[in-house]
Amino acid sequence: MTSGLPMKRINEIFHSLQGEGRHTGTPAVFVRFSGCNLHCPFCDTDHAVGREMSDEEIIAEVRRHDVLLVVLTGGEPSLQLDAPFLKKLKEATGATIAIETNGTHPLPPGIDWVTLSPKTGIADRDLPIVLEHADEIKVVDTGQDLAPYLALPARHADTYLYLQPCHVADEAQSRANTAATVRRVLANPLWRLSLQTHRLLDIP
């Protein structure tokens, strides 16, 4: 029996290690939502793929795995999230509920860890970032000016700042991108390096 709330379009739900940011190496269940209000050229989600799932179906799939971290990602998960779903997810799992968001849409209550990954300026629409709090800000490095990210209202004294190399299909170019990001982090010590370690380990 479903809750009567709108169905959510889910790209995939899978069990793996968090590969990026502060929780790198932590076992997690990832709930990847289909659909986004931006269209970034490096996005790794196929938004044409997905199925409609009820809150109960999503939670049942998450509970197949005994983890302490659930990561809501996408796409842009905030477009489909609601407080009742988050409350039920927390009650059913007891896990830390984390989200990766582009920050252009408000978040409902019930999220424990917010990763703001701003995409404005390199996407096809430059939507304003509306979040006022982020636990970490993770920026995909395309050589852009980093100063605007430091001025985001979501950044506070305890917000972690991560700079991540832009992954591309060409391996030589990816290595060059990583080397360039390492140099930028060395030159900008407010930032830490985030690597997509799941790619290095060849896991989901």
Catalytic residue among 47, 65, 167, 198: 198
Residue 30 is among the residues annotated as catalytic for this protein? yes
Catalytic residue among 42, 44, 46, 156: 44
Close Cβ partners of 50 (under 8 Å, ≥ 6 residues apart): 9, 10, 11, 33, 34, 35
Residue 40 is among the residues annotated as catalytic for this protein? yes
Catalytic residue among 20, 55, 100, 141: 100
Residue 36 is among the residues annotated as catalytic for this protein? yes
Task: For 106-139, give one letter per residue: b (16+ CB within 10 A) or e.
Answer: ebeebbebbbbbbbeeebeeeeebebeebbbbbb
Residue 45 is among the residues annotated as catalytic for this protein? yes
Catalytic residue among 20, 23, 33, 45: 45
Catalytic residue among 40, 57, 61, 167: 40
Residue 43 is among the residues annotated as catalytic for this protein? yes
**Cβ distance 135 to 115 under 8 Å?**
yes
User: What CA–CA distance (Å, rounded) separates 177 from 90?
Assistant: 38
- Residue written as token pair 């939507």: 127
Catalytic residue among 20, 36, 135, 136: 36
Catalytic residue among 12, 24, 43, 57: 43
Residue 198 is among the residues annotated as catalytic for this protein? yes
Active centre residues (catalytic): 30, 36, 40, 43-45, 100, 198
